[in-house]
Chain A
Amino acid sequence: MTEPNPSIALVPVQSASLVRKSAEALAIRGLSELQSRENANFWFQRAVDLLFNPPEELLSSEDPDEEIRRERQLCLLKAVEYDPCHVEALHNLGSDFQEQGDLTEAVAHYQRAAELGSLEAKCSLAYLFMNGSGKPELPPQEGDETCLSYFCGYAEQGNACAQYMYGKCFHYGLASAPKKVTQAAYWYAKAAEQGYAPAQLELGALFESGRGVAQDNVQASNWYCLAAKQGEAEAQYRLGSQFYKGLGVPEDIRQAEYWFSLASIKGFKNASVMLEICKAGVSHAVMERMSKENAGNHG
Chain B
Amino acid sequence: MSSEIVHRLSPEEEELAAKRDELAQLEAKLADQELFLASLKAELAAFEGLYLRRVGVLYAELDEWAALLAEQRAEHTGTPEAKTEAAEARAQAEEAYAAAHGAAAEVQPFSPSADLKKLYREAAKRVHPDTATDEADRARRERLMKEVNAAYAAGDEDALRRILADLDSSPDAVQGSGVGADLIRVLRQLKQVRNRIAAIELEVTALSETDLAKLKAKADRAATEGRDLLAEMSSNVQGRVNVARQRTERERVKGEGK
* Chain A residues within 8 Å of B, Cβ to Cβ: 1-2, 5, 8, 11, 16, 18-20, 22-31, 33-34, 37, 85, 87, 115-117
Pairwise interchain contact A23-B48, C-beta atoms closer than 8 A:
yes
| Across-interface contacts of A87 in B (CB, < 8 A) | 239
Complex-state Cα separation, A6 to B239, whole angstroms: 37
A68 CB to nearest B CB, Å: 30
Contact partner of A23 among B56, B158, B214, CB < 8 A?
A: B56
B32 CB to nearest A CB, Å: 25
Q: Which residues 81-97 in B have Cβ within 8 Å of A in the complex?
A: 95-96
Pairwise interchain contact A27-B212, C-beta atoms closer than 8 A:
yes
| Across-interface contacts of B239 in A (CB, < 8 A) | 85, 87, 116-117
Pairwise interchain contact A115-B243, C-beta atoms closer than 8 A:
yes
B239 CB to nearest A CB, Å: 5
| Across-interface contacts of B48 in A (CB, < 8 A) | 23, 27
Contact partner of B233 among A20, A22, A28, A30, CB < 8 A?
A: A30
Stretch in B98-106, B134-142, B188-196, B199-207 touching the partner: B98-106
Pairwise interchain contact A30-B98, C-beta atoms closer than 8 A:
no
Complex-state Cα separation, A187 to B49, whole angstroms: 47
Pairwise interchain contact A1-B159, C-beta atoms closer than 8 A:
yes
Pairwise interchain contact B103-A26, C-beta atoms closer than 8 A:
no
B247 CB to nearest A CB, Å: 8
Interface status of B215 (Cβ within 8 A of chain A): yes
Pairwise interchain contact B98-A28, C-beta atoms closer than 8 A:
no
Q: Given A25-B99, A85-B240: A34 and B215 within 8 A (CB)?
A: yes
Complex-state Cα separation, A1 to B152, whole angstroms: 12
B178 CB to nearest A CB, Å: 44
| Across-interface contacts of B168 in A (CB, < 8 A) | none
Contact partner of B59 among A24, A26, A116, A117, CB < 8 A?
A: A26
B51 CB to nearest A CB, Å: 6
A106 CB to nearest B CB, Å: 20
Complex-state Cα separation, A29 to B105, whole angstroms: 16
| Across-interface contacts of A116 in B (CB, < 8 A) | 239-240, 242-243
Complex-state Cα separation, A33 to B96, whole angstroms: 16
Contact partner of B52 among A26, A28, A31, CB < 8 A?
A: A26
Contact partner of B102 among A23, A29, A85, CB < 8 A?
A: A23
| Across-interface contacts of B103 in A (CB, < 8 A) | 5, 8, 11, 16, 19
Pairwise interchain contact A23-B52, C-beta atoms closer than 8 A:
yes
Pairwise interchain contact A19-B102, C-beta atoms closer than 8 A:
yes
Q: Which 10 A-B pairs have the closest CB atoms?
A: A22-B99, A23-B99, A19-B102, A27-B212, A23-B104, A28-B211, A2-B154, A26-B56, A22-B95, A1-B156
